[in-house]
């Protein structure tokens, strides 16, 4: 039986991708694709900026379209990460849900990891940010084992998994562009130089594929990344991974002060 993953690795996966919105990406060096003619009622008849029926014409603009589609709106990011060993046994199963207020100044993130073997523990990482202070707690089998905060952190960036989209779009070579159920799908098997959108802790990545479902205004409703790699924390054991991230507008829940945040702190509820 495999031993349970270290808590440090679970937290690293839980916090992967946290940071600001998309950063800069290198300009595309490929020739601009020539779009094929499409019917006027087709999703690609009026594609999002930076995308044509023939491919990605402007990676920066396409990535920015996703960011802009979330402006002035609350939203929820849900992430599910799974790793499997070569024999099919589950190595990691982590779900993260982040609810972000319309101001993008407050949010709450809850990450739940089902340890493997599953009888070992269920680990939960809970963070609330009210615009000026951050509060955290860690629970194991529903028992709080560690708390943190308030930590003064003004202008903290929204936790997200978007900042690498520009890198992914810029690195895509001959991506497949198709439509399904009235939405656009972009698929690429060319990872960026850095394995953006692949989980922290995974090295020597191969068989990398990203499939993104995009609306006509450029918002990514879901992206799925599959990959194979080794994990140093597992003595270099090779795993097959899948990361599925969805963006829901508006947010599925509010970001009010959780009950577990001490009432006598210096921070005020948002």
User: For residue 150, how far is the Cα from the chain centroid?
Assistant: 25
Per-residue confidence (pLDDT) for residue 145, from 0 to 100: 82
Q: Domain ranges in the chain?
A: 7-16+46-248
Between residues 111 and 198, the one the model is more confident about: 111
CATH classification number, 7-16+46-248, choose in 3.30.420, 1.10.760, 2.50.20, 3.30.390? 2.50.20
Q: 246-258 pLDDT, tens per residue? A: 999 999 999 999 9
| pLDDT for residue 39 is more than 70 | no
What pLDDT, in 10s, does the model give residues 196-205?
A: 667 667 888 9
* Cβ atoms of 201 and 232 closer than 8 Å: yes
- How far apart (Å, rounded) are the C-alpha atoms in residues 48 and 8? 40
What is the pLDDT, as a whole number, of residue 121? Answer: 72
CA 61/CA 46 separation, integer angstroms? 15
Q: What is the pTM (predicted TM-score) of this model?
A: 0.81
Residue 193 class from Cβ within 10 Å (0-12 exposed, 13-18 middle, 19+ buried)? exposed
Measured distance CA(20)–CA(161) in Å, rounded = 9
The first and second tokens of residue 52, run together, are 């044509």
């Amino acid at each position: 039986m495999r031993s349970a993953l270290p808590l440090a690795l679970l937290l690293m996966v839980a916090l992967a991708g946290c940071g600001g919105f998309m950063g800069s990406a290198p300009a595309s060096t490929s020739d601009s694709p020539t779009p094929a003619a499409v019917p006027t009622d087709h999703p690609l008849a009026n594609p999002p900026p930076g995308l044509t029926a023939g491919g990605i014409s402007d990676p920066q603009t396409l990535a920015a379209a996703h960011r802009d589609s979330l402006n002035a709106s609350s939203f929820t990011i849900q992430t599910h990460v799974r790793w499997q060993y070569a024999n099919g046994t589950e190595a990691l199963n982590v779900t993260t849900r982040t609810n972000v207020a319309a101001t993008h100044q407050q949010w709450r993130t809850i990450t739940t990891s089902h340890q493997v073997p599953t009888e070992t523990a269920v680990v939960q990482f809970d963070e609330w940010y009210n615009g000026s202070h951050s509060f955290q707690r860690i629970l194991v089998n529903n028992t709080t084992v560690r708390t943190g905060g308030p930590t003064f952190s003004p202008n903290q960036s929204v936790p997200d998994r978007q900042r690498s989209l520009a890198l992914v779009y810029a690195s895509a070579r001959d991506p497949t562009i198709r439509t399904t159920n009235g939405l656009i799908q972009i698929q690429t098997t060319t990872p960026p130089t850095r394995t953006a959108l692949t989980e922290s802790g995974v090295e020597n990545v191969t068989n990398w594929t990203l499939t993104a479902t995009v609306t006509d205004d450029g918002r990514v409703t879901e992206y799925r990344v599959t990959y194979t790699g080794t994990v140093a924390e597992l003595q270099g054991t090779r795993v097959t991974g899948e990361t599925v991230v969805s963006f829901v507008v508006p947010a599925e829940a509010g970001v009010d002060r959780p009950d577990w945040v001490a009432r006598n702190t210096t921070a005020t509820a948002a």
